Structure formats: C-alpha cells, structure tokens
Structure 1
C-alpha cells in the first residue's frame, strides 16, 4: 500500500487552502520578467512561499542551457 504523507506545515509556510495556494503560485509566475540568456546553473530555494516563492518562480521559468537536473534535499518524511 502506498503511503501518502499529509502536509505537515500547510497554513504555516504556505496557505492551507488549495485555491489560495494555486492563485499565489500563479501570481508569482505571472510576475517573472523574461531573460534572454540561460544561466550556467540554477539553484532554486524551497523555503516558505512568502519568503522564496518569487525567486523560485523566476528560476523555474528561466531558459535551460543544460537539461541535466540535480536535486539535493534532506529527508523530509
């Protein structure tokens, strides 16, 4: 049986209402200014959306110069 982890910090670092959360993310993505040149690397923060959402949206919409992806993360379960 697949275990699905329930959100541990909903309402703290991001809204616990899915509709508000979707609107918040859409707003961050709409405010990103386009760039002409892809950077050699992108580091995307993952702190609470109110702290790093705008930066993460910008990084995720950057043109990609290298399709390779590396994920570095702690154990969050």
Structure 2
C-alpha cells in the first residue's frame, strides 16, 4: 500500500495518466509531428503506461489482500 501512496505523491492519478496516454496515442496516430516530437510523445506514453500499470497492480494487490482476509463463505 505504501507503493500506491508513493505513486500518488510522485505521479498523476490513474484516470489522469490514462486520459493523457489516450491523448498521446491519438497524437501519434494522427501523425504530422517531427521525428523528435514523435519520440518525445512515445517516451511520455511509455512513462504514462508504466504509471497506469503501477496503479492497476496496486489495486490488484489491495483486492487480493482484502479477499484473503475475508473468511470463506459456505
């Protein structure tokens, strides 16, 4: 859980990162950028994808921990 809190301090939230990543993809798909701009967009997209994955991994860990604590129901 500390990783999730650290991620919240240093990086955008999941929804913000996802929305920005979608914008990056649209801009790359539209073309019309220089090679340097396209590379910068690609690198930003890679960082945003990593942020999103970290949030999703953290959420999965929290869900797994919550379901492991719950007693089995008959």
Please report the TM-score for the alignment, with normalisation by the length of structure 2.
0.31
Structure whose CA Rg is larger: 2
Higher RCO (CA < 8 A, seq sep 6+) = 2
Larger helix share, 1 or 2: 2
Please report the TM-score for the alignment, with normalisation by the length of structure 1.
0.30
